[in-house]
Structure 1
Amino acid sequence: MRRTLLLMSTAVAMMASVAVYGQNDAKAKAILDQVSKKYRSYDVVKSDFTFTMDNPQSKTRESQQGTLYVRAKTNKYRIEMTSQHLISDGKSQWTYLKDDKEVQIVEADQSADALNPAKMFTIYERGFKYTYTGESKSAGKVYQTIDLAPIDTKKAYFKIRLSIDKVAKRIANVLIFDKNGNKYNYNIKTFVPNVKVPESTFTFDAKKYPGVEVVDLR
C-alpha cells in the first residue's frame, strides 16, 4: 500500500485558480465554489475514509481503512492507514512504513499545483477542467457528480470523479481513473470540522518508535 500514500501525496484527494475557472462548466464552478468556501472556514478537519484500489489487469482489489487529519491553510496533514502513515508539517514529509520499521523523510512539495492529502477536499481548484454530470440519491442523501480532467495530459490519471453531498456541501467520494485502467476510490465515511489536536500530530517523532530506521532524503 506504499503506492497508495505516494499517489495521494503526488497525484491526488484532495489551489485556487480563477484563470482555470473560465474554461469550465458554470454549474460545476458554482457547486465547487460553495464546497471550497465552507471547507476553508475550518481549522483542522478529521476524516475517516475507506480506500479501495481496483486493478483489472491482475483482477485484484485492495482495501484499507484510514484516518486523515488536515490543516489545509498551512499544508499540514497526517494520514494513518493499516500499513503506513504519511505526515507533513508543511516543510517536511515523513512516510512511516510499519512492517519495514522505516521512515523516509523528504521535503514537502511547496509548489502551487502540488497535490497531497492536505488538498483532498480542494483537489479541483487548480489544474483541471470540470463538468457537472448530474445528481444521484443514496441512503436518503442527494449527491452531485462532477468530473475533473487534468489540463496537463501527461498526468498518470485522466479523470477524477467527485461526489458531493448536496446539503452538507462537501466531498463525499473521490474516484481516480488512471491510464493503466486502475481505479482508486476514496470514500469519506466521517467528516469532523475544527477538531482539536496537538501540533505534534503533524510531525514524526522517531523516539516514539524504538528500532525505526530513519532514511533522510532531503
Structure 2
Amino acid sequence: MKRLFLVLTLLTACFTASYAQDAKTVLDKCAASINAKTGVQADFIMNSAQYGNSSGKISVKGRMFTANTSMATLWFDGKTLWTYMSNNDEVNVTTPSEAQLQVMNPYNFINMYKKGFRYTMTQSAGAYQVHLTSTDSSKRVKEMFITVDKKTYHPTEVKLLQKQKWTTFTIKNMKTAKLSDAAFKFNSKDFPTAEVIDLR
C-alpha cells in the first residue's frame, strides 16, 4: 500500500511538473510573439475595480511602451515614465515600479512571469488560459490569468490581482510595427504649452 501511494505521488508530481512546463512553454511563445525587434501595436480595453475603465492603443518594443487613451498619453523608455493629462495640459515625470507598470502596460507580464510564480493551464477550442499564482509574498501582483490565442500565441486577455482588486485588459488587433526608440520618449516640441512636473 505504501509503495502504491509512493508511485501515485510520483506520477502526480511528474504530471504536475509537465503541465506547468506546458504552461510556461505557452507563455514563452506568447512573450516571443510580443518581443518583435521592431515593436508591436494593439488596441486595448481596461476594466479595473481599482483604477477605473479606459480604452486606447498601445505600442510596445522590449520594455518600452507608449499608450494613448482619451484621458492621457503615456511614454515609457524603459526607465522614465511621462504621463500627459489632456484635461490640464500637464506632464508628470516619474520612475515607476514594476507593479505600477503592470497596470499601465498589459504586456508587462512578459518581464515578470519567469520568476516568482507557479503555473496551471486550461484550454478551450481556440485558446490557452494560464493561471499564475505568486510564490513571493513581496510581489504586489498576487495572481494573473493570461489568455493566449492557440494559432498566433498572441495574448487576448490579461487579468491581474492587486490589493484584492482585479484589473482586466482585453487586447485586439495586435500586429508588428517599425517603431523608433524616440517614439517612447515625451517630446516637448509636440506639447509646447504643457507644464512639465518632475516627480522623480
Taking structure 2 as the reference length, the TM-score comes to: 0.77
Check whether the contact 2:64–2:184 (CA below 8 A) recurs between aligned residues.
Answer: yes
What is the CA deviation profile of residues 184-205 of structure 1, one whole-angstrom value per residue up to 9, with x for unaligned ones? Answer: 1101111011x12344321112
Change (3 A) 1:198 1:29: closer
Distance in 1, Cα, partners of 2:53 & 2:188: 28
The structure with more radius of gyration:
2
What is the CA deviation profile of residues 158-214 of structure 1, one whole-angstrom value per residue up to 9, with x for unaligned ones? Answer: 21101010111121100112333x221101111011x12344321112232243111
1:24-103 matches, within 5 Å, as: 25-54=20-49, 62-72=52-62, 75-103=63-91
Aligned with residue 161 of structure 1, among 133, 145, 148: 145
Check whether the contact 1:86–1:94 (CA below 8 A) recurs between aligned residues.
Answer: yes
What is the match of residue 125 of structure 1?
114
How much identity, in percent, do the aligned residues show? Answer: 24
How many residues are paired up?
Answer: 180
Distance in 2, Cα, partners of 1:108 & 1:90: 10
1:2-17 matches, within 5 Å, as: none
1:190 aligns with 2:173: yes
Change (3 A) 1:39 1:211: closer
Change (3 A) 1:129 1:66: same
Distance in 2, Cα, partners of 1:185 & 1:150: 17
Taking structure 1 as the reference length, the TM-score comes to: 0.71
Deviation at residue 108 of structure 1 after TM alignment:
6.0
Q: Secondary structure at the match of 1:124?
A: coil
Check whether the contact 1:121–1:171 (CA below 8 A) recurs between aligned residues.
Answer: no
Aligned with residue 179 of structure 1, among 163, 166, 181: 163
What is the CA deviation profile of residues 36-60 of structure 1, one whole-angstrom value per residue up to 9, with x for unaligned ones? Answer: 33433442101111111246xxxxx
Change (3 A) 1:127 1:43: farther
Q: Secondary structure at the match of 1:25?
A: helix
Runs of 5+ consecutive residues of structure 2 not aligned to the other structure: 1-16
What is the match of residue 19 of structure 1?
none
1:146 aligns with 2:165: no
Q: Secondary structure at the match of 1:164?
A: strand
Greater share of helix: 2
